[in-house]
């Protein structure tokens, strides 16, 4: 495997391996054996186990952004439905290990681990940009959309952290639904008028 395509193939294989085997306490050698390669090949493409984990977190987040684009870009779902559909996606137990990995890496970045620092700003900005682009199709001004996107990201991540910590799916679902209800109907028109 050479070049970016080889790296991407390895990354996809690692994500599939983690999906099947979980992420708990896996050495680089164990990961390599699980995907049918050597730990040296993983080091060649990713540099270290930490950089491999960052690549995994980014790739899973990219898939989540793709899901958001598909749900919000179809034009059939209302904003509150998009919020609920995205919650169902990120709160899927199959993604639990990846969500825990994301929060762990994010925490390390906040503690000053330079290898993880790119996760801090880039991740939030990408979500804000995706939401602004989706809201523009409904005529929502970029600054209004950005404020609400930040709020939605904070609520969703907070509830996801709550779910991972407590396992209370019914409670987090109810809280998410209460949040989503604020975006039903013509919420964007009311928001635009109050901002004028």
pLDDT at 91: 96
Domain check: are 26 and 96 in the same one? no
Q: How far apart are CA 78 and CA 128, in angstroms?
A: 18
pLDDT in tens, 138-163: 888 999 999 999 999 999 999 999 99
Domain check: are 61 and 79 in the same one? yes
> For position 67, which CATH number holds?
1.10.357.10
Domain check: are 75 and 167 in the same one? yes
Asked whether residue 168 carries a pLDDT value surpassing 80, the answer given is yes
pLDDT-based confidence at 189, cuts 50/70/90? low
pLDDT in tens, 48-102: 988 898 899 889 999 999 999 999 887 778 889 999 999 999 999 988 988 988 8
pLDDT at 90: 95
Domain check: are 75 and 122 in the same one? yes
pLDDT at 192: 54
pLDDT at 164: 95
Q: What number is the average pLDDT over the span 119-132?
A: 88
Q: Domain range for residue 161?
A: 50-195
Mean pLDDT of the chain: 87
Q: How is residue 69 written in tokens?
A: 């684009």
> For position 37, which CATH number holds?
1.10.10.60
Q: Pick the more confident residue, 26 or 147.
A: 147
Number of H helices, E strands in the chain: 10, 0
Q: What number is the average pLDDT over the span 32-54?
A: 91
Domain check: are 92 and 61 in the same one? yes
pLDDT at 19: 85
**What stretches of 22-141 show up as alpha helix (H) in DSSP?**
28-35, 39-46, 49-73, 79-90, 96-110, 118-136
Domain check: are 147 and 179 in the same one? yes
Domain check: are 19 and 87 in the same one? no
Domain check: are 42 and 55 in the same one? no
Q: What is the DSSP string of 28-44?
A: HHHHHHHHTS-HHHHHH
Domain check: are 94 and 190 in the same one? yes
Which residue do the tokens 């994301």 mark? 102
Domains in the chain, number: 2
Domain check: are 115 and 102 in the same one? yes
Domain check: are 110 and 153 in the same one? yes
Q: What number is the average pLDDT over the span 111-132?
A: 87
Domain check: are 43 and 87 in the same one? no
pLDDT-based confidence at 1, cuts 50/70/90? very low
pLDDT in tens, 94-104: 889 889 888 98
């Amino acid at each position: 495997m050479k070049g970016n395509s080889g790296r991407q193939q390895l990354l996809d294989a690692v994500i599939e391996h983690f999906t099947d085997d979980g992420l708990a306490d896996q050495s680089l050698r164990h990961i390599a054996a699980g995907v049918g390669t050597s730990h040296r090949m993983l080091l060649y493409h990713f540099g270290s186990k930490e950089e491999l984990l960052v690549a995994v977190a980014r790739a899973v987040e990219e898939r989540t952004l793709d899901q958001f684009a598909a749900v919000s870009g179809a034009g059939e779902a209302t904003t509150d439905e998009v919020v609920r559909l995205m919650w169902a996606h990120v709160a899927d137990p199959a993604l639990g290990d990846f969500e825990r990995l994301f929060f762990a890496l994010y925490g390390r970045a906040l503690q000053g681990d330079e290898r993880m620092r790119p996760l801090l700003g880039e991740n939030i900005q990408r979500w804000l940009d995706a939401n602004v682009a989706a809201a523009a199709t409904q005529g929502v001004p970029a600054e209004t959309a950005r404020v609400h996107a930040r709020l939605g990201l904070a609520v969703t991540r907070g509830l996801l952290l709550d779910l991972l910590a407590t396992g209370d799916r019914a409670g987090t679902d109810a809280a998410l639904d209460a949040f989503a209800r604020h975006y039903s109907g013509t919420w964007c028109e009311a928001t635009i008028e109050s901002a004028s």
